[in-house]
């Protein structure tokens, strides 16, 4: 069953909030089969994400919005379900 664009946007925003992403720095929108994320992914406390935390975010997003393709235009990460590449210095995983 396909969900509405409005419901997909709501679900994507919920995932962003659940991972404590600063919503002032990022925008998200969903179309028929794509999730678009633009801006800067940073925690709401101002810290950068670790690779492990970003992997969990991408997994959560793709599992929540099954069947949607992730498209990003981010200043500090290159993200896809297959690869994660930080474009800034990130903290080490614990």
Q: Does residue 46 lie in a domain region?
A: yes
pLDDT at 94: 63
Q: What is the CATH number of the domain that holds 37?
A: 3.30.1340
Query: Pairing mode, if any, of strands 77-79 and 69-74?
Result: unpaired
Q: How far apart are CA 83 and CA 58, in angstroms?
A: 10
Q: Which domain holds residue 62?
A: 5-86
Reported pTM: 0.91
Residue 92, domain member (yes or no): no
Domain for residue 14, yes or no? yes
CB 58: neighbour CB atoms within 10 A? 22
> What's the domain count of the chain?
1
91, part of any domain = no
Segment 23-79, tens digit of pLDDT: 999 999 999 899 999 999 999 999 999 999 999 999 999 999 999 999 999 999 998
């Amino acid at each position: 069953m396909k969900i509405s664009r409005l419901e997909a946007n709501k679900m994507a925003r919920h995932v962003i909030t659940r991972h404590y992403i600063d919503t002032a720095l990022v925008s998200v929108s969903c179309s028929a089969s794509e999730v678009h994320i633009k801006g800067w992914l940073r925690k709401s406390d101002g810290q950068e994400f670790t690779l492990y935390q970003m992997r969990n975010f991408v997994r959560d997003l793709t599992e929540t919005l099954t069947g949607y393709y992730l498209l990003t235009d981010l200043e500090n990460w290159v993200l896809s379900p297959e690869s994660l590449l930080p474009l800034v210095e990130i903290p080490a995983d614990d």
